[in-house]
Amino acid sequence: MEMNLEKKAVFINGYVQLPLKIGASALIIHANGQIWTSVVKAIHQVAEDLIVFETRNSTYCVASHIAPEPAAMAAQMYACA
pLDDT tens digit sequence for 23-72: 999 999 998 999 999 999 999 999 888 999 999 999 999 997 555 555 54
Q: Facing residues of 60 across strands? A: 10, 53
Q: Amino acid identity, residue 43? A: I
Strand, coil or helix: what is 81? coil
Rounded to a whole number, what is the distance in angstroms from the first to the last CA of the chain? 44
pLDDT tens by residue, 1-34: 566 667 899 999 998 998 999 999 999 999 899 9
pTM of the model: 0.73
